Structure 1
Amino acid sequence: MVQVEGEGAYDDKQWHDWYGDKERGVLIDSGDFNGLNYKDAVAAVAKLLEGKGLGELKTTWRLRDWGVSRQRYWGTPIPIIHCEDCGPQPVPEKDLPVVLPQDLVPDGSGNPLVKSEAFHAGVVCPCCGKPARRETDTMDTFVDSSWYFMRYCDAKNSEKMVADGADYWMPMDQYIGGIEHAILHLLYARFWTKVMRDLGLVKVDEPFTKLLTQGMVLNHIYSRRTAKGAKEYFWPKDVEHVFDESGKIIGAKLKNAVDSADGMLPVGTAIDYEGVGTMSKSKNNGIDPQELIEKYGADTARLYTMFTAPPELTLEWNDSAVEGSYRFLRRVYNFGAKLSAPEFEAARAKATARNGVAGVSFGKEAKALRLEVHTVLKQVDYDYQRMQYNTVVSGAMKMINALEDFKALDSEGGREAVVECFGILLRALYPATPHIAHVLWIELGYAKAQGELLDTAWPEVDPQALVQDEIELMLQVNGKLRGSIHVAAQADKATIEAAALANEEYQKFAEGRAPKKIIVVPGRLVNVVV
């Protein structure tokens, strides 16, 4: 227990603010620690525990106090009643919850709850019964966001704050937030969960299973000093760079006339270039998603942000790279338009069926296409699970490259393989670019056979597609790459050696010399030493 001189006796029935006074308070009724202040008491207790081998003085986390009150209308009401005689008193449980008035409009003159007579009407002190007033501060919005996700687990239950659905859904599988969340909301949510656990409201100790802290989006920053010395910032769309002879950025100038604190600035006005920094509304270097969507479509905006950098790293905005994402999606759409031609009608009927390409025979070329696409699908599936979306998009680009390069449409199973592989591409792209994938899925008949893209099964790697009848081995002569050979996938060492010696490239560089040694690295290469 603690005592502060001049504050009266310690009372375990009612809280007094001086209980938390770490400057004046000293311990009482604490044996050998009587009379010690906060700092000395902590050191003495730590020393005692260390001497007994029970612990040591160690800072495990420097968590600052959380001031939860805010002087504003929006937020959770603080259930306290202020009485002139009895002081602050908690609202009786039977009168909870305290509900905010719905007709208040913040007008910039301060917290409207202070002036609202309706908010305080009929309020009496729960101790003495005299007229009183409610607390007008509201809680930090983090108080609500620290547990609302558990309310979602059983949102329609009107009897409990957190109902039985939380037992099924919690803990949450994934938490995604910026670095500022890792030191603010994440800590608050963990603290709130542990309080609710101690109260018996939930059964989990931690609210989240996995954490992903995404990187920041960066863009160029442009500014100038006004005549009065203030700094004003300019939108990147109104500015162009000034380069030196080596192509290095040395400054910037306006390419559009801009209204400023000094009046209208004409085209060509010199602007300070501050380099690249985090996108910020205050620095006018953000990108309006709506402008991007109107010009390129939402899918392009989504694809660009996913492809440019891994989610945990910073992303430097580049308008020309957005164009690249747009061109890729045009390639996908144009290839889909190609498959809508009558010559693919029979292949679409087979390959889009629920049993897929089961029963379809594939020639050498079609097998090679399926091998490439299913191999990429295996990697894409893994990358989605580890949230590496940039390599997911890279895998989709490999798929469209393989499809565009496939020329053996008239080979056995050629068209069916193309339709199957394009369906895989659409499903792989759907989480990233849902609009174009949805349209092509319907127009090409996949939806009619397999259902809406939202409900259809995720593509699975076909083990048979990964089986190779023939493999390619690099051919080296004296350790230098000279070509390649193709052999059966199950070819033994003798067969591989014979194929290498019969190869024209080997014979050209061997110049008639007999081989001294042949080294075979299974599945990779064969090296002939002459």
Structure 2
Amino acid sequence: MAVDDRYNFHAAEKKWRQRWAEEGLYHVEADPSRPKFYCLEMYPYPSGKLHMGHVRNYSIGDATARFLRMRGYNVLYPMGWDSFGLPAENAAIANQTHPAEWTYANIAAMREQMQRLGLSYDWRREIACSHPGYYKWTQWLFLLLYKRGLVERKKAPVNWCPRCATVLANEQVEDGACWRCGTPVEKRELEQWFFRITAYADRLLKDLDLLEGWPERVKVMQRNWIGRSEGMELDFPIAGRDEKLTVFTTRHDTVYGATFMVLAPDHPLTLELARGTEQEAAVRAFVERVTRLTVRDRAEALDAKEGVFTGAYAINPVTGERIPIWTANYVLMDYGTGAIQAVPAHDQRDFEFARKYGLPVRVVIQGEGVPADGDRLEEAYTGPGRMIHSGPYDGMDSREAYRRMAEDFERRGIGRRTVNYRLRDWLISRQRYWGAPIPIVYCDRCGIVPVPEDQLPVLLPDDVRFQVGASPLATSESFVRTTCPSCGGPARRETDTMDTFVDSSWYYYRYTSPRDEHQPFDREKVFYWLPVDQYIGGIEHAVLHLLYSRFITKVLYDEGLVPSPEPFRRLLTQGMVIKDGAKMSKSKGNVVSPEDILEEYGADATRLFILFAAPPERDLEWSEHGIEGASRFVQRVWRLVTGCAEAIRGAAGQVAAARDGAVAEAVGAVTAGYAAGAGGRGLAGAAGEDGNAATDVRGGTGPAGARPGAAAAGAGEIQPAMQGWGPEEQALWREVHRAIARVTTDIAERMQYNTAVAALMELVNAIYGYRDRVEPAAQRADLLAAALDRLLRMLAPFTPYLAEEAWELLGWRATRGSVHRQPWPAWDPAVLEAGTVEIVVQVNGKVRDRLQVPADLSEEELRQRALASPRVRDWLDGKTVARVITVPGRLVNVVVK
């Protein structure tokens, strides 16, 4: 059979995409008799085109899913679309099209790109959160939280454009102005819907300890966002008024050093205290300017601390002195009470502000080397020490004073111990069309009435007008006008839709039964598949998406609907793809199009480069040289296969072909073999004690065993006849088993695909080396067949098209089935530890000695033995050794000059 010695990736991709779809190769169902693995990437927003970050994310996930299928796991690997959201609505306004048209056209385009990449999703499970069959259950989730007392309607500040007469999302505010018309944005108080995530604050914090498979930096980010602080609320009377200003502080031991107060610009008392004073105009201008900024802009401006005196004074409750009340940009309303006691000697932010505005600095805790005079301080002192300038507490250790003051202040009624959280309730109201309608109606007689479950979904209407200055849902009479589910009288529907984070907070459950019309998910299937064993996504979602998903999971867990209080057992936050040292972006002109790369180099080379160029958690620098190198490797593998194909097919008597049913037996054999492995926290350590999802998330050792090891060879695996092998054959066979050990360990224990690919490249070099050194007539076809058998199975997760095409070329698909349904190869420790090998020692390329050495001798030990050989020393006499080149298991070449 004539075979093209150049791999035609265009033809192979088209061929195998069609064949795999026809065969249902990646279809999966729950099977309690097998260990499960749920592999998931964060589902994407359908923007219309994949970017290289997507390609990296999905290449990692697909390699993981393919590897674990071959390890005997029943792998759930689905894909869907985060398809509600603001960009679709903006496109509708700009193009006068319905958001659904734009969204579903983009989904079709991105699905095509994903399939071209060879991603092994079970596409039967595809979901889109903008489909009524999905958002019906998002509305059901809202009602569940409502019944559990976790939904609240209350006033909250929003961004308001007075010219467009509409609420703007933070993303629509640009430099404090409306993105559409440029009008300065105002802050207004509107009734909004909230999920009471704060009710779960302690559990969200405590259960982070369960997440042993999460990066520590992500857990730190979540802890900081929740922001649990133990401290006191202290009451400062306001001079000349009956009101008190309450502050939260974690350092009540420094209250004697409070020399001024600071209110957040949006604190309810800020403008009130300035009213009628000569400061009113300045305060009002400052408040309007700062509150127009987005949350992000305000955070970025914190380094440049600025503020205005309100004209009012407070009374320090322990010293009785009048201290000025300021408003400043570095105090936020969403932490504590939105007001602080400013102690510049012992808080760096207060210190910088005090120095800028000439406010007094009073030292009340003196550590070693700390001056007692605040004017001499160069920075705030935040450590422990001896109390000074603190009345009855002078001379006391500050840690003892901390405890005594808390007791004294509570007894005197000026403060109370409390726990404060930075976390705020989840604002889910969005004043836009393209989102899940909130299932609430308003009745003049009954008030707020939830829509009954049997009336879901509340469908988005089509008769809306996308225009500036009006909420689209409010323009639909057919939607707004309805009847009260309680009394049957006239009522109006809520015209807000839900935050898209609500959709993404539970989508991973829907994948288990995506077409179920009677419930959000099948409880039995969820108890089999969940929790997600490996979740993969960008670090930008390390807080909100993950926090909201954890919250919703805990609610569902309390309801008895899901098996685990945490949704994701292991988390990988992959690094970005960068070019020329910067994140790819159109504005920088450094974007690389995946479509162009796939067209020029093919899916196999693209995936291989993405996985080889950097460890998954680190940023990846795009390199034209790198993708070209990956392409050359793909072609090199193909030439190796085509060069061996005729000899392998002609040596049928040396090859033990798989028999009927052998593939299924092989998977079982491999699974059983790994069952004896020790526990661990690698990819394979995912299942619970019964082979299903555990109800805890503490890592765990499933029946498939977490630590990869040598298992019995699966039935149908090609075993070479080893009689009569010489050193070259033994050396190649050891390289095969060394590669299996390295690749398996790198993926299963460390998820380091870059080093796994490197090991495969070394194995390809070793096979080529064998063919170069051994005369064609003397080459063992059974050994080459066994080596390629294992090479292609290990390449399958990385280069799925190449592996399948080569597998078929060698005749194995007809007898053994798809390469992607083969068991993962096992290594034999006995081969790695086998006796001795003969090493050729050269000097300047000429053979000067042959040594018998242990097969597992290290390169350094091999180098030392070669240099110590008497025959070699004779050729080194009077010469300088420039370098020593070692090829483990084969030769040492000493270069002298």
Residue matched to 2:798: 432
Q: 1:142 aligns with which of 481, 501, 507?
A: 501
TM-score, L = length of structure 1: 0.68
Cα displacement (A) at 1:487: 3.6
Q: Distance in 2 between matches of 1:16 and 1:498?
A: 79
Cα displacement (A) at 1:320: 2.1
Q: Distance in 2 between matches of 1:396 and 1:412?
A: 25
Residue matched to 2:284: none
Residue matched to 2:872: 505
Residue matched to 2:737: 374
- 1:193-235 C-alpha deviation (Å, 9 max, x unpaired): 0111122222311001111010011124xxxxxxxxxxxxxxx
Indicate conservation of the 8 Å contact 2:577/2:622, yes or no.
Answer: yes
Change (3 A) 1:78 1:16: closer
Residue matched to 1:356: 718
Change (3 A) 1:181 1:483: farther
Indicate conservation of the 8 Å contact 1:49/1:56, yes or no.
Answer: no
Q: Distance in 1 between matches of 2:575 and 2:856?
A: 47
Indicate conservation of the 8 Å contact 2:441/2:491, yes or no.
Answer: yes
Q: Distance in 1 between matches of 2:822 and 2:418?
A: 57
Higher alpha-carbon deviation: 410-419 or 435-444: 410-419
Q: Distance in 2 between matches of 1:437 and 1:366?
A: 24
Q: 1:72 aligns with which of 420, 423, 432?
A: 432
Q: 1:442 aligns with which of 805, 808, 821?
A: 808
Cα displacement (A) at 1:388: 0.9
Indicate conservation of the 8 Å contact 2:532/2:569, yes or no.
Answer: yes
Indicate conservation of the 8 Å contact 1:78/1:137, yes or no.
Answer: yes
Q: Distance in 1 between matches of 2:627 and 2:609?
A: 6
Residue matched to 2:649: 345
Cα displacement (A) at 1:333: 1.0
Indicate conservation of the 8 Å contact 2:793/2:819, yes or no.
Answer: yes
Residue matched to 2:491: 132
Alignment-mate amino acid for residue 428 of structure 1: M
Alignment-mate amino acid for residue 304 of structure 1: F
Q: Distance in 1 between matches of 2:574 and 2:467?
A: 35
Indicate conservation of the 8 Å contact 2:577/2:621, yes or no.
Answer: yes
- 1:69-125 C-alpha deviation (Å, 9 max, x unpaired): 223322221111133565543223443332333x4677465653222233235x123
Alignment-mate amino acid for residue 651 of structure 2: A
Change (3 A) 1:367 1:448: farther
> How many residues are paired up?
418
Alignment-mate amino acid for residue 160 of structure 1: Q
Counterparts of residues 301-320 of structure 1 (less than 5 Å):
301-320=606-625
Alignment-mate amino acid for residue 429 of structure 1: L
Instruction: Select the structure with the greater relative contact order (CA < 8 A; seq sep ≥ 6).
Output: 2
**Structure 2 residue 450 is the aligned partner of structure 1 residue 90:** yes
- 1:176-195 C-alpha deviation (Å, 9 max, x unpaired): 11111111211111111011
Indicate conservation of the 8 Å contact 1:487/1:499, yes or no.
Answer: no
Q: Distance in 2 between matches of 1:510 and 1:41?
A: 78
Q: Distance in 1 between matches of 2:814 and 2:743?
A: 26
- 1:317-371 C-alpha deviation (Å, 9 max, x unpaired): 1112211111111111111111223x33233663462241254433321111010
TM-score, L = length of structure 2: 0.42
Counterparts of residues 194-213 of structure 1 (less than 5 Å):
194-213=554-573
**Structure 2 residue 564 is the aligned partner of structure 1 residue 214:** no
Please state whether the residue corresponding to 1:164 is helix, strand or coil: helix
Indicate conservation of the 8 Å contact 2:654/2:721, yes or no.
Answer: no
Q: Distance in 2 between matches of 1:114 and 1:204?
A: 40
**Structure 2 residue 611 is the aligned partner of structure 1 residue 288:** no
**Structure 2 residue 661 is the aligned partner of structure 1 residue 297:** no
Counterparts of residues 192-341 of structure 1 (less than 5 Å):
192-220=552-580, 276-341=581-646
Q: Which segments of 5 or more consecutive residues in structure 1 lack a partner in the other structure?
A: 1-11, 22-31, 221-275, 476-481, 492-496, 512-524, 526-530
Residue matched to 1:184: 544
Please state whether the residue corresponding to 1:153 is helix, strand or coil: coil
Q: Distance in 2 between matches of 1:318 and 1:208?
A: 33
**Structure 2 residue 755 is the aligned partner of structure 1 residue 391:** yes
Cα displacement (A) at 1:156: 4.3
Q: Distance in 2 between matches of 1:153 and 1:146?
A: 15
Cα displacement (A) at 1:282: 4.7
Higher alpha-carbon deviation: 379-388 or 67-76: 67-76
Indicate conservation of the 8 Å contact 2:718/2:785, yes or no.
Answer: no
Indicate conservation of the 8 Å contact 1:352/1:449, yes or no.
Answer: no
Higher alpha-carbon deviation: 89-98 or 388-397: 89-98
Please state whether the residue corresponding to 2:806 is helix, strand or coil: helix
Alignment-mate amino acid for residue 496 of structure 2: D
Q: Distance in 1 between matches of 2:514 and 2:537?
A: 23
Change (3 A) 1:198 1:409: farther
Q: Distance in 2 between matches of 1:348 and 1:488?
A: 34
Higher alpha-carbon deviation: 390-399 or 155-164: 155-164
Q: Percent identity?
A: 40
Alignment-mate amino acid for residue 759 of structure 2: G
Q: Distance in 2 between matches of 1:281 and 1:210?
A: 33
Q: Distance in 2 between matches of 1:499 and 1:309?
A: 35
Cα displacement (A) at 1:15: 7.0
Q: Distance in 2 between matches of 1:279 and 1:467?
A: 47
Q: Distance in 1 between matches of 2:740 and 2:478?
A: 63
Change (3 A) 1:147 1:299: same
Cα displacement (A) at 1:289: 0.7
Indicate conservation of the 8 Å contact 1:470/1:488, yes or no.
Answer: yes
- 1:296-335 C-alpha deviation (Å, 9 max, x unpaired): 1111111111111111001111112211111111111111
Indicate conservation of the 8 Å contact 1:75/1:139, yes or no.
Answer: yes
